[in-house]
Amino acid sequence: MTNTGASSVVLDTLLVHRIHELARALGVASDSFLFNDFTTVDTELVHQIADGLTLAFVTHCYHHHPRGENVYELMALEEQTPPNTAEAIALEARIEQAAAAQIPFVVNTNRLLEDYYHIRRSLDEYLANA
């Protein structure tokens, strides 16, 4: 980020690109302000960008989370079930199905969260220096 005055800043083009890429990955509508070029921003706009990315991340998680059984709840139930029983075998199959649905989501969410974290740190750094 290059400071161009007391109240405005030009965001680094790499940061702007990363904001756009994350917004796309989160499924933000193409007409969102998050796809602006941000040639000059002020403190309020940096807050709006950070808030917009946060909202987009939460919305993405809500809408893309695989519905179905909770793996951890099933595992807790399995611990209370006598081993080598029909019930235990059925629970194991349900755990595998739930995990198969949730693992890709978790892996993708972790990648998106890492991107979000680095972008957010860059935006917070600007705000700290503004």
Spatial contact of 46 and 19, defined as CB atoms under 8 Å apart = no
Residue 32, CA distances (Å) to 20, 26, 58, 101, 113 in order: 10, 12, 16, 30, 20
Among residues 70, 72, 74, 66, the alpha carbon closest in space to that of 107 is found at 66
Residue 21's pLDDT is what? 98
Domain positions in the chain: 2-129
Residue 32's pLDDT is what? 97
Residue 79, CA distances (Å) to 49, 70, 84, 99 in order: 45, 15, 12, 17
**What residue type is 19 in one-letter code?**
I
Query: Tens-of-pLDDT digits for all 130 residues of the chain?
Result: 444 445 687 789 999 999 999 999 999 999 999 999 998 899 999 999 999 999 999 999 999 988 888 899 999 999 999 999 999 999 999 999 999 989 999 999 999 999 999 999 999 998 888 7
Q: Please state the pTM of the whole predicted model.
A: 0.80
- Burial status of residue 38 (CB atoms within 10 A of its CB: 0-12, 13-18, 19 or more): buried
Residue 22's pLDDT is what? 98
Spatial contact of 41 and 58, defined as CB atoms under 8 Å apart = no
CA distance 82 to 102: 26
| CB contact set of 14 (below 8 Å; sequence gap of 6+) | none
